[in-house]
A and B are shown apart, each in its own frame.
Chain A
Amino acid sequence: MPAEIPTTLLAELTHRCPLHCPYCSNPLELIRAESELATDDWKRVFTQARALGVLQLGLSGGEPLLRKDLEELAAHARAEGLYSTLVTSGLGLTRARAERLRDGGLEHIQISIQDSDPEVAERIAGVRSVKHKQAAAAIVRELGFAFTVNVVLHRANLDRLGSIIDLAADLGADRVELANTQYYGWGLQNRASLMPTREQVERSREIAERATQQYRGRMQITYVLPDYYEAFPKPCYGGWGKLYLVVTPNGMVLPCHGATGITTLQFDDVRTHSLDWIWRESEAFQAFRGDSWMKEPCRSCPRKGVDFGGCRCQAFALTGDAANTDPVCTLTPLRRIVDDALAEPSEEMPQYSYRYLTGEPQRV
């Protein structure tokens, strides 16, 4: 199946991060600073991405502000014509750096918040961070960036969804992205402490709907449901290798940020191959393009053009075979794996396993 034109590149500039959130979307095996791509490697990747058709660039991490060359990279991206989003915790965003980013042409900043309750927020982040985030949000507003607040939702903060949305508005956000935790990597490791109850999910859905009406015209609200409580899986980025690609801090190119969890696939490196070749020709990107890889019930399912069999990373993480139907789907007998997880006793909340590099001193 021939490749289409991708729209979005997520650049994980580093896995270093001052936060230790137990649902981090980075893999369990974090990349160390000494393996990170050099400035010129990233610039080449951005140039190749634009030539391939990418329009949107996420400058992400870890914490991308820990890269001293961030301003230079953002300016290069803009010169190539990319629309860039800085995806940050806010920690380290000084006024001087924000001004340099703006002057280089960065257009959009996304700051994470963990909760509206400062105590819980810092317990989740594993570090003092609330005041830094407030200061960063004020700078982002003042310098006129497009501003999104993003929040990962889970059992410990879902009951405060209404006040979390109000906090995003108070911080001056143009948009707020509310995404329930996805259970890969760190999230899967901490699933028993992160998984909300069905009652929490139902209440929060109503709160999100009401707030969307209330804030219409002032702040856009995106609410991503927790897929375990859905009947059908999510259509991951429009299907495997269709619109989206990720480059890891050490230059591996993935169809999804969770894909390193699929240990049966080998991913190629921007230091040895062009992005164009990796996108069009590499085995990993071709593995689940189109629908010829599908088994039943996907193969004959009318929904296969809607959700593309769901998430390959989730299929692998929960069943050991990335070509299986995403077990969230109620049309597969594999659904019992998800139902079993939902039925796990949830009275006690186990301790979080915080995100740390192996050997990094733990301060929590």
Chain B
Amino acid sequence: MMETRDSRLLTPDSIPKLWRMTRLHFDPVRQRPVLLYPEGAVLLNDTGAAILELCNGSNTVAQIVGILTERYQADVGDDVTEYLRLMAERELIRAG
């Protein structure tokens, strides 16, 4: 279980993965996606959910940026990196 380095530090080559105890869920009451985890929940917008869905343990940060830049036809690099950094700071995603 011991991790040898700080899993909050992300680089373009890191492979961010949702913490194993989180669950992405669409809440029909609030009509928006939510990220559930032990004794907490983050209400997401569609873009946030799109980023987190790609944190599946196979994409690097650079690949996630590439996929979303393609999808939204806009340079989303800074926004995506900042979002991932915040989620990693909260330990909801871990760098692999």
Contact = CB atoms under 8 A, between A and B. Distances in A.
B27 A172 contact: no
A227 interface: no
Contacts of A55: 25, 27, 34, 36, 41
B74 interface: no
Interface secondary structure of B, over-half rule: loop
Interface stretch (A91-99, A195-203, A216-224): A216-224
Interface in A49-76: 50-53, 55-56, 58
Looking at B1, B7, B29, B39, which has the most chain A CB atoms within 10 Å of its CB? B39
B82 interface: no
A218 B21 contact: no
Interface of B: 1-3, 5-8, 20-21, 23, 25, 27, 29-30, 34, 36-41, 91
B47 to A, nearest CB: 20
A148 interface: yes
A44 B23 CA distance: 24
A7 B25 CA distance: 14
A85 B39 CA distance: 7
A173 to B, nearest CB: 10
Contacts of B34: 55
A107 B30 contact: no
A43 interface: no
B21 A172 contact: no
A360 to B, nearest CB: 31
Nearest to A51: B29
A146 B3 contact: no
B6 A216 contact: yes
A81 interface: yes
Contact of B38 (A53, A81, A175): A175
Interface residues of A, number: 26
A217 B6 contact: yes
A83 interface: yes
Nearest to B28: A81
Contacts of A58: 39
A235 B21 CA distance: 27
B41 A81 contact: no
A75 to B, nearest CB: 16
A53 B20 CA distance: 24
A335 B46 CA distance: 47
Contacts of B1: 172, 218
A151 to B, nearest CB: 15
Contact of B23 (A5, A52, A83, A110): A83
Nearest to B41: A55
Contacts of A175: 38
B60 to A, nearest CB: 20
Interface in A280-297: none
B3 A217 contact: yes
B41 A218 contact: no
Contacts of B41: 7, 55-56, 83
A56 B36 contact: yes
A57 to B, nearest CB: 10
Nearest to B9: A217
A108 B29 contact: no
Contacts of B3: 217-218
Interface in A35-53: 50-53
A174 B39 contact: no
Interface in A106-149: 107-108, 110, 144, 146, 148
B29 A107 contact: no
A146 B20 CA distance: 8
Nearest to B27: A55
Nearest to A219: B1
Contacts of A148: 38-39
Nearest to B91: A220
Contacts of B2: 218
Going nearest first, the 4 A-B pairs with the smallest beta carbon separation are A146-B21, A83-B36, A53-B29, A108-B38
Given A146-B21, A216-B6, A218-B3, A56 B39 contact: yes
B21 A174 contact: yes
B39 A107 contact: no
Nearest to A83: B36
B29 A85 contact: no
A152 B66 CA distance: 47
